[in-house]
Chain A
Amino acid sequence: AQSVTQPDIHITVSEGASLELRCNYSYGATPYLFWYVQSPGQGLQLLLKYFSGDTLVQGIKGFEAEFKRSQSSFNLRKPSVHWSDAAEYFCAVGRNQAGTALIFGKGTTLSVSS
């Protein structure tokens, strides 16, 4: 069965420091992978997605993610974090059945300290 694991429940990063949020997936074939961000009380905003091709994917707000098949990972990175990046981050994989939806990880809460 497909699954997504986000090992870190909560991460605190200093403003201006680099960020890496981890995501591991379980799926036999090539997965379709997504990162979403959710500010408190808001909906989910798509940061980036990976379907195929170049394994380094650029997204909005200066985020990027790298797909590593050998490690079953799709980690999200940002070189310099801003206070406004504090939010909940969800990694998700497209579910492999018709008329389907997303399988989400449990999320990582990012706090930014000044």
Chain B
Amino acid sequence: DTEVTQTPKHLVMGMTNKKSLKCEQHMGHRAMYWYKQKAKKPPELMFVYSYEKLSINESVPSRFSPECPNSSLLNLHLHALQPEDSALYLCASSPGTGMRDTQYFGPGTRLTVL
């Protein structure tokens, strides 16, 4: 089973709201990722967790706050977002963080910020 699940599928929030995105995998992978994807663009890496520790933060604004409660779960907490943050947010996982570790992606959460 190579499934990564993400909830919710769609999220609409105001600029003053606080919400969270959730990602889950049960493949025993030790690396998990958050990507942001705008329309007609490739995914842009936001964060990488390796063995439940944050290993890469690609200069993401602090209004995005990742959390990895355990090896199967990855959350992205959202607060005071801007309309330009509207995008598809993709979660991925891989066995490790080596160059040959294949990443498996979830279906994404479509976020709209009003």
By a beta-carbon cutoff of 8 Å, the part of chain A in contact with chain B is 32, 34, 36, 41-46, 49, 51, 88, 90, 94-96, 98-102, 104-107, 109
Contact = CB atoms under 8 A, between A and B. Distances in A.
B42 A43 contact: no
Nearest to B47: A101
A5 B4 CA distance: 28
B97 interface: yes
Interface residues of B, number: 28
Top 9 nearest A-B pairs (CB, nearest first) are A94-B99, A104-B42, A99-B55, A44-B105, A43-B105, A43-B107, A32-B100, A99-B97, A101-B45
B33 A51 contact: no
Contacts of B45: 101-102
17 contacts: A41-B88, A42-B107, A43-B4, A43-B106, A43-B108, A44-B43, A51-B100, A88-B40, A94-B100, A94-B101, A98-B97, A99-B48, A99-B50, A104-B43, A106-B42, A107-B40, A109-B40
Interface of B: 4, 6, 33, 40-43, 45, 48, 50, 55-56, 88, 90, 92, 97-108, 110
Contacts of A107: 40-42
